[in-house]
Amino acid sequence: MENKSKESSKIPPTVDQKIKRRNFISFGVFFAASTGAIAGWEWLLKSPKEKFGITGGTRVPLRRALNKTELFFRNFFSNNHLVKTYPAEMAAKQVRINSLIGIEEDLHFDPQKWKLSVLIKNGESLNINLEEIKSLPKTEIIYDFKCVEGWDQIQHWGGVKLSDFLNHFKLDEEIKKQYMGLQTPNGKYYIGLEMQSALHPQTLLAYEMNGKPLANEHGAPLRLIIPVKYGIKNLKRIGTMSFSNSRPKDYWAEHGYDYYSGL
């Protein structure tokens, strides 16, 4: 009874008053949200820059967010899925040649003199020649190679699974590291990979294209073919392989491209 009398003693607001109240609330919300956005932006601009080197240089909180997104995609996509493959007839006969950093300086390269140098613990290294690599089981893949510059092409590659290679040379301690780094023999082109993508079953150390030994422009005598990544990570002419728990330096990441560059 008492409640009822209280209710009825209230005068209901007029339509005008209702509109005013709504306006007040929505302007209030708008004002608070914009202040928040401006403050957030200022906070981002004033926040410290990340150390230049491994990546292209951005604000620390932004990088933190980028890393979280990367982790999400890493866990849910690349490492658990297989890239689509095609019948060999669909592979391009004229394979595109993109950039030649780390190769153009020595286009008349002698594959006979080449050795892959694998940097292992205690500063030691394994020096492996092409014959040894070719004696391991061969794997071929025909898939759609994608370059970040916007082209793609179905290509046919042959070589050794990187995971088979690592097992064969008993690099068990090394694959426990978080990253693998690869560089051309002259050190002018270099990339870093998270170990999961290096161990992906479709990642190859390739020595053949369309069933023939690699041409110099395509990275003779041995290149990386990593279908879960964009072209930039598919390093041509591998000279050195290394392992670490911090991100190895990466040529295009230094120029502002995404370090992960996954597909």
Ligand X SMILES: Nc1nc2c(c(=O)[nH]1)N[C@H]1C(S)=C(S)[C@@H](COP(=O)(O)O)O[C@H]1N2
Binding site for Mo ion (CB under 5 A): 98, 147, 231
Q: Of ligand X, Mo ion, none, which one does residue 101 interact with (CB within 5 to 8 Å by kind)?
A: ligand X
Member of 114, 182, 237, 250 binding ligand X (CB under 6 A): 237
Phi, psi of 206 (to 5 degrees): -95, 135
Residue 114's identity, in one-letter code, is W
Q: Which residue is nearest to ligand X (CB)?
A: 231
CA 227 to chain centre: 11
Comparison of 96 and 249: residue with beta carbon closer to ligand X: 96
Is 241 an interacting residue with respect to ligand X (CB under 6 A)? Answer: no
How big is the site for ligand X, counted in residues (CB under 6 A)?
Answer: 18
Comparison of 44 and 263: residue with beta carbon closer to ligand X: 263
Comparison of 165 and 190: residue with beta carbon closer to ligand X: 190
Comparison of 137 and 150: residue with beta carbon closer to Mo ion: 150
Bridge-based pairing of strands 240-244 and 116-119 is: parallel
Is 96 an interacting residue with respect to ligand X (CB under 6 A)? Answer: yes
Distances (CA, A) of 200 to 156, 158, 238: 18, 16, 18
Is 203 an interacting residue with respect to ligand X (CB under 6 A)? Answer: no
Member of 184, 197, 202, 261 binding ligand X (CB under 6 A): 184
Task: Give the sign of the dihedral formed by CA 42, CA 71, CA 153, CA 162.
Answer: positive
Member of 44, 66, 92, 100 binding ligand X (CB under 6 A): 100
Rounded CA-CA distance 78/62 in Å is: 23
Rounded CA-CA distance 66/72 in Å is: 10
Burial 194-227 (b: 16+ CB within 10 A, else e): bbebbbbbbbbbbbbbeeeebebbbbbbbbbbbb
Comparison of 21 and 255: residue with beta carbon closer to ligand X: 255
**Residues 6 or more apart whose Cβ sits within 8 Å of residue 234:** 145, 223, 224, 225, 226
Q: Of Mo ion, ligand X, none, which one does residue 114 interact with (CB within 5 to 8 Å by kind)?
A: none
Q: In this chain, which stretch among 22-30, 61-69, 70-78, 91-99 interacts with ligand X, using CB under 6 A?
A: 91-99
The residues binding ligand X (CB under 6 A) are 96-103, 147, 184, 189, 218, 231-232, 234-237
